Chains A and B, each alone.
Chain A
Amino acid sequence: MDRRRVQGPETSVVPLPTQEALAKRAALPAPVQDGKRADGRGPEDIRPIFLRTGLISQASGSAYIELGQTKVACAVYGPRQLKKQQGFSEQGRLYCEFKFATFACKKRRHPIRDPQEKEFSQIIVQALAPSIRLDRLPKSVIDLYVTVIENDGTASCLAAAITAASVALADAGVEMLDLVAATSLGYVHQQLLVDCSAAEEAYQQHTDLILAYMPSLGQVTHLLHRGPVDWPPMAAVGGACCVHVYLLLMMHAQ
């Protein structure tokens, strides 16, 4: 054998799922059978939440949240003075960096943030800005770093990130109007499912909704939705779930 050359075929093709795998995917079982989902939940149940604050010692405030296998860590640094090159701002600024760990998803993520992660960062800022008294923090900035350690449903990652970031801000002692609770909903095969896992997101024709809500003030701080859907029931269920998450947060705070 010639050891000086790389032994391998001259051409390559995309690794393709085998015909059996494709057939299996086509014949996915219904998402809800006998009123139960694959993991034993009812259609409108969220997964059990694990939440801890203050896990990151160097940060001003931090929170870690688990929603089933979805694991998100969030750290808050600041408020601190704006750097000279960032200019002057009458209101405080909120800056967020959302990142999936390279190993968080089925497909490897690149260490550099991609457009989806940049967009999620903007969404988190938009969802949290209404809850913070930014008018009390002129010339300063609050930095928010969110890392997804494991992704079990992309929509649930974003919802968990918003909730965790809000708790982390409270942990940092930032002056706030209310906590923001967020949930994700999916609409699969004419069935409304709350807090979809990655397996449930894999169904084709998937519709999703992410709702961020401040229950005490009765204000929607963010809404992201795609796919045609019946609006009123989805919004009502979303609101109820946000309240449920909010109550859990309040219990945690005590």
Chain B
Amino acid sequence: MSLGLISVVERDFVERGVDLDLRTDGRGRNDYRLPRMEMNLVAQSDGSARCQLGGSTDVLVSIRCELGQPEPTTGDRGRLAVSVECAPSASQQLEGRGADELNTELAEALSRALTGPRSGLNLRQLCIVENMHCWILNIDAIVLDLGGNVLDALLYAARAALADTRVPGTQVQSLDEGVDFEVDDDINHAAWLEHASNVPLCVTAYKIGAGYVLDATLTEELCSSARLHVSVNPAGQVCAAQKNGYGSIEPSLLITMLQAAKEKAMYLLEVQEEQIQQHKRTLLEKQTRGESVKRPSIFM
């Protein structure tokens, strides 16, 4: 994906800066723009979060629970359906079908981090009647502004949205002809997603010249020949990794990039956990005051 052009001189300027460990906005190569996050923004969804990086990259993730059928091979589990849409307002290049390639790329990468083996979530919690009915979590992301490092922001928001999601309660009754169930419309009976805190975060390392930077801006993205997305869970395990871009990476640099991304991810996980706890505390205060209690989205 190339969003825009860059002159040879500017590219050279950025590359030399990376060599000196000084970037155009004054950061060092391992410095991350502190993510700004808001949760529970979308009234019609069961969980949502918005993440902004450095005031330019801006993404919104909404999660809705929908009733559906499980996959035949995994009858005792629910499903996740991930979609990403880059709004044309974010960049002129994304108009019409221009965003298709970017959308698929981001959606597949996001879904690899969230649904991959041991992504963390307990999908058995989403099963209602085995082999018959389950909840499908529709994870829909929209990119509102492009300021570089979109995938990191997407996973940051998706992880927070999962922590904010509650699955409506159900009561299963056995009848003469099989089983039936009722969905509870009381939000207090809806359960938080289990193990949402095990979900990984992604940190991307961008190769620029012979070095690398974390959390690139849009200009730096244009200068980078290859990038490495690394997803790390709170246990410190690398859950997914993917190279992207049209350049190649030497094995030694690859390991360095991986290590740097992993360390940064552990730090970001701590930062986000604090943000989520803060949000849950305010939510609890609101509830005790008896303010605006949301209903599960399925009843809207």
Chain A residues in the interface with B (C-beta under 8 A): 13-17, 115-116, 118-119, 122, 125-126, 129-131, 204-207, 214, 217-229, 231, 235, 239
B109-134 contacts to A (CB < 8 Å): 112-113, 116-118, 131-132
The SS class assigned to the A binding surface is: mixed
B238 within 8 A of A: yes
**A220–B238 touching, CB < 8 Å:** no
**B246–A228 touching, CB < 8 Å:** no
Chain A residues, CB < 8 A from B238: 225, 228-229, 231
Q: Which of B72, B132, B233, B258 touches A17 (beta carbons < 8 Å)?
A: B72
Chain B residues, CB < 8 A from A16: 72, 75, 131
**B72–A220 touching, CB < 8 Å:** no
Q: Which of the four size classes fits the interface of chain B?
A: 35 or more
**Contacts A122-B104, A217-B248 known; 12 new A-B pairs at CB < 8 A:** A14-B72, A16-B75, A16-B131, A17-B73, A130-B226, A130-B247, A214-B248, A224-B242, A226-B117, A226-B239, A235-B251, A235-B255
Across the interface, name the chain A residue whose C-beta is closest to B109. Answer: A119
The verdict on A125 contacting B101 (CB below 8 Å), with A115-B107, A207-B117, A225-B240 known, is no
CB distance from A90 to the nearest CB of B (A): 10
CB distance from A225 to the nearest CB of B (A): 4
**A115–B104 touching, CB < 8 Å:** yes
Across the interface, name the chain A residue whose C-beta is closest to B231. Answer: A226
Chain A residues, CB < 8 A from B240: 225-227
Can you name 15 A-B residue pairings with CB atoms under 8 Å? A15-B72, A16-B75, A122-B105, A130-B246, A219-B248, A219-B249, A224-B241, A224-B242, A226-B112, A226-B116, A226-B117, A226-B239, A227-B239, A227-B240, A239-B251
Chain A residues, CB < 8 A from B108: 115-116, 119
Cα separation A13 to B130 with both chains bound (whole Å): 13
Cα separation A130 to B116 with both chains bound (whole Å): 28
The verdict on A223 contacting B228 (CB below 8 Å), with A14-B131, A15-B72 known, is yes
Chain A residues, CB < 8 A from B72: 14-17
Cα separation A214 to B226 with both chains bound (whole Å): 15
**B250–A219 touching, CB < 8 Å:** yes
Q: Which of A125, A206, A220, A229 touches B249 (beta carbons < 8 Å)?
A: A220
**Could you say which of A14, A126, A226 has the most chain B C-beta atoms within 10 Å of its C-beta?**
A226
**A227–B248 touching, CB < 8 Å:** no
B237 within 8 A of A: yes
Chain A residues, CB < 8 A from B244: 126
Across the interface, name the chain B residue whose C-beta is closest to A89. Answer: B2
B55 within 8 A of A: no
**B73–A119 touching, CB < 8 Å:** no
